[in-house]
Amino acid sequence: MIKRTLYFGNPAYLRRQDGQLKVLLPKEKTELASIPIEDIGVMVLDHPQVTLSQALLSYLISSNVALISCNEKHHPVGLFLPLDGNSVQSERFKVQLDASEPLKKQLWAQTVGAKVENQARLLERFGLDAKRLHVLIPQIKSGDSENVEARAAKIYWGALFENHDFVRERFGDVPNPQLNYAYAIMRACVARALVSSGLLPTLGIFHRNKYNAYCLADDIMEPYRPYCDEVVMQMFYDGELEDDKLTKEQKAKILSVLTTDVVFTGKKSPLMVGISRTTSSLYECFAGERRKIVYPEFYDTVCTQSIP
């Protein structure tokens, strides 16, 4: 079942009634909408006057809804996740903790390979040359010891912005803010799926920053980043990103990435469903039930506009 993504950018009072999310005007308490909570996968709270009842909050978390809170600049800053996302969570935690270093290095190499492959396919969908990326993929070794990921990133961003003065950085100019927003949403969805699969999103296979609470989410989302890039880049080259301000229209388009189609071995699947498939396969790798993480690939379609 495809879960819904809800965005709240205006004042609202949210409460729970009979398994439904009730959306009301904050003063008049006039009901605007009623949504089954079981249908919700992600909720983005992006206004200081959005109020939730405790009954709703606890029910959303127990239903494994990724609840994202944004700051005054409209950037995601917080994520609520359940403490017990899987019925055999302690058993799965142990399997994850016992994973050997060679296994994690192999899984990271697979992850980097899938990311670079999707980056190459995205360049091709924009009518750009991806030969240099394809050449790098066979060079990926266990643990990506030769740092192919960074080398590929330099080629990738250089190709996407060959005729534009752009540097990919956290606090950079357009389209950096839009990319950051897309990645934050994707990260939250991956963290949600990891918890649902009974895994600790904090313990990564590659990322190990002690200040990072979602190292594993940052690992597993890497091959999914190009899906965010595609949406943002299409907006950029369509002239929709004129300044650093994130508009509601931009956010709506970015959030649509969660319902885009991805492909696993020739079969289409909604992206959010695909993420759950990926995290389930990761656990199976930890448990010795399979050797490779299941990652998506771009299917053969052409973007609506080639990069000039």
Q: What is the pLDDT of residues 29-79, one digit of tens each?
A: 899 999 999 999 999 999 999 999 999 999 999 998 989 999 888 888 889
List of residues 6+ apart from 211 with CB closer than 8 A: none
Residue 305 has pLDDT above 70, yes or no: no
Structure tokens at 251: 């956010």
Query: pTM for the complete prediction?
Result: 0.90
pLDDT value at position 308? 44
pLDDT value at position 89? 87
149 is in an annotated binding site: yes
Backbone dihedral angles phi then psi of residue 139, each to the nearest 5 degrees: -85, -5
pLDDT value at position 248? 87
pLDDT over 90 for what percent of the chain? 71
299 — pLDDT class (breaks 50, 70, 90): low
User: Vertex 157, ends 153 and 162: CA angle to 5°?
Assistant: 145
pLDDT value at position 67? 94
List of residues 6+ apart from 126 with CB closer than 8 A: 160, 233, 303, 306, 307
47 is in an annotated binding site: no
240 is in an annotated binding site: no
Residue 4 has pLDDT above 50, yes or no: yes
Instruction: Write down the domain spans for the chain.
Output: 4-80, 89-286
Residue 304 has pLDDT above 80, yes or no: no
Residue 277 has pLDDT above 50, yes or no: yes
Query: Tell me, what DSSP letter sits at residue 298?
Result: -
Only one residue has tokens 């890497």, namely 222
Q: Which fold has domain 89-286?
A: Four Helix Bundle (Hemerythrin (Met), subunit A) (1.20.120)
pLDDT over 70 for what percent of the chain? 96
pLDDT value at position 306? 40
pLDDT value at position 302? 44
Backbone dihedral angles phi then psi of residue 12, each to the nearest 5 degrees: -160, 150
**Ranges 61-70, 114-123, 287-296: which has the least confidence:** 61-70
Q: Which fold has domain 4-80?
A: Ribosomal Protein L15; Chain: K; domain 2 (3.100.10)
165 — pLDDT class (breaks 50, 70, 90): confident
81 — pLDDT class (breaks 50, 70, 90): confident
CA–CA dist 302, 305 (Å, integer)? 8
- Answer yes or no: are the C-beta atoms of 242 and 157 closer than 8 Å: no
- Mean residue pLDDT of the chain comes to 91
pLDDT value at position 7? 95
Residue 228 has pLDDT above 80, yes or no: yes
CA–CA dist 182, 172 (Å, integer)? 15
User: Given this chain, do its domains 4-80 and 89-286 carry the same CATH topology?
Assistant: no
